[in-house]
Structure 1
Amino acid sequence: MIQSMTGFGKSITQIPNKKITVELKSLNSKNFDLNARIPSQYREKELDLRNIISNSLQRGKVDLSIYVEFTGEQTSTNVNTEVVQNYMHQLREIVNASEVELLKMAVKMPDALKTEREEIDEEEFKAIEKAVREALEEINNFRTDEGEALEKDLKLRISNIGQLLDKVIKMDPERVEAVKERLRKGIEDLKEQADENRFEQELVYYIEKFDITEEKVRLDNHLEYFEKTLKTDDSNGRKLAFISQEIGREINTIGSKSNFAPMQQLVVQMKDELEKIKEQILNIL
């Protein structure tokens, strides 16, 4: 079963005086890369959250966002009364304005508001951790659903390459005869008496050079191995990428050896299917 690296998960938890929203978003990446946007009072627990997320998601470019909304009377931000009054006193000497206008200007000044650092409560962090795990469950479900769609497409592409390979195998005898005929015609065009033994030697040489038996067998094996890997319990995008490289190697060799236009057209179609496979694999966990 494969999983996509693309996903989204969200969880909302309510604790006394606070509503905490946790959002997780992931995109494809070669490694695990977490960007955390969390309130400053939770920074000391960031490493714990990173470990929880990395153990669950393993790979991908992940964005973690934690939003805190105060629902009670308590707040960590207060008006710095002495500073605001001092600003208003100075502003009176500069502008002729009402007390309300002076206050509006004063609260925009530096240090007009002060935020008291809150010590994180263990019970509160447990609630946050629970929300993170719920968001992880949601994002993993999202990844699994995306993975099922990817798997269907990959199976279709591999099947298409297999069908094209069958056409190549059926066409191969015709290609060999065409190569023989070109060689025979080339010798006749020399207008010299061709040595039959020499002709046979040259024929064997070129037939061996253009022989694609090994490539056909290896390509068929790689296609079968790719399908088996798709059916395994783990999602291994790196392994699938390696197998696709081997598939491409055999397809390229068949194309270079074929020396036969109809077969090369089939090779172009196989390459097109393989490129689509490689694009999809970039998003597999």
Structure 2
Amino acid sequence: MALSSMTGFARGHGVVGAYAWSWEIKSVNAKGLDIRFRLPPGWDAVEVAARTRATQALSRGTVYCNLTAARQGVPPTVKVNEPVLNAVIATLNQLTGRIDAAAPSLDGILALKGVIEVTEEDEREDEHREAEAAILKGFDKALADLDAMRKHEGDTLGQLLTTRLDEIAALTARAEAAPGRKPEAIKARLAAQVAALIEASQRFDSDRLYQEAIMLATKADIREELDRLVSHVAQVRKLIAEGGPAGRRLDFLAQELNRESNTLTAKANDVELTNIGLQLKSVVEQFREQVQNLE
């Protein structure tokens, strides 16, 4: 199963009978799955089925689903509202002779609000149901296109993440091989510092200082951090290879990688190890930023 991005866009349109419709679906990053529909009046029945299908197809992201639908090619029907017309004529008759004005014209009466009604032919329920089925079929197609785009972007992200992982693994190997990380080297540096302190002042207890130096050397060892970095990299590679909605787990591992690189940098008392730690932190941050886009 491939990795998927949380960002994507798809559009679809069609005509069935007298109805023309179009879908526009787009998704952006989110912590969970949030599907939002915007439908024209009269098409609410479409949302339930469409939401179910989107929930089954997607795991994360804010998804905006916009539908437009309209009847086309239906000739309008013009009707005279008889009750309104009769009321207007009765009022005009009452005012005749009371107001010095020209008699009203036919077009003037018909122009009054409510006298003329322009309507479309009533919708047939079977035609509406047929249009709903076509619109849902169009939604399936647009949803599949959205999913395909998200997977395509997921493939690209997977390649980028693999590149970052290779860099993390290479830096970890450099730290492993660095002469300055060996306990013997750490003890030697501390011993030299202790010797310098003793030479500067005879008041220092040499035995106590050497004991403290040994403790500091033990604390400065980055063996555990290196082992955990190797383990986390292996877990990340496995998740990328398995694919699917792995974004949350990869984000957790990115946090762990960041924690280990911070600890390694803090423990390093060697210039080379410090530089490696700083590079690790930079690469891990890039890795984490890219993981935020995964489903």
Does the TM-score normalized on the shorter chain lie above 0.5? Answer: yes
For structure 1, the residue ranges without an aligned partner over 5 or more in a row are 90-97
Q: Which TM-score applies when normalising by structure 1?
A: 0.82
1:191 alignment partner in structure 2: 202
Query: More displaced, 208-217 or 65-74?
Result: 65-74
The one-letter amino acid of 2:38's match is R
TM superposition shift of 1:99: 9.6
TM superposition shift of 1:166: 1.8
Instruction: Indicate whether 1:123 and 2:130 are aligned.
Output: yes
The one-letter amino acid of 2:74's match is E
The one-letter amino acid of 1:73's match is V
Instruction: Indicate whether 1:259 and 2:260 are aligned.
Output: no
1:225 alignment partner in structure 2: 235
Distance in 2 separating the partners of 1:255 and 1:80: 83
Residues 229, 99 of structure 1: alpha-carbon distance in 2 compared, 3 angstrom cutoff: farther
1:182 alignment partner in structure 2: 193
Residues 130, 194 of structure 1: alpha-carbon distance in 2 compared, 3 angstrom cutoff: same
1:167 alignment partner in structure 2: 174
1:236 alignment partner in structure 2: 246
Distance in 1 separating the partners of 2:79 and 2:275: 77
Instruction: Give secondary structure in 1 for the equivalent of 2:3.
Output: coil
List structure 1 segments (4+ residues) > 4 angstroms apart after TM superposition: 78-83, 98-107, 112-120
TM superposition shift of 1:142: 0.3
In the alignment, is the contact (CA less than 8 A) between 2:191 and 2:210 conserved in 1?
no
Instruction: Give secondary structure in 1 for the equivalent of 2:6.
Output: coil
Instruction: Indicate whether 1:145 and 2:152 are aligned.
Output: yes
Residues 162, 47 of structure 1: alpha-carbon distance in 2 compared, 3 angstrom cutoff: same
User: What does 1:1-285 align with in structure 2 at a 5 Å threshold?
Assistant: 1-73=2-74, 82=81, 121-173=128-180, 176=186, 177-192=188-203, 194-195=205-206, 197-285=207-295
**Aligned Cα root-mean-square deviation (Å):** 3.3
The one-letter amino acid of 1:60's match is G
The one-letter amino acid of 2:251's match is A
TM superposition shift of 1:171: 2.1
For structure 2, the residue ranges without an aligned partner over 5 or more in a row are 89-104
The one-letter amino acid of 1:217's match is D
Instruction: Give secondary structure in 2 for the equivalent of 1:73.
Output: coil
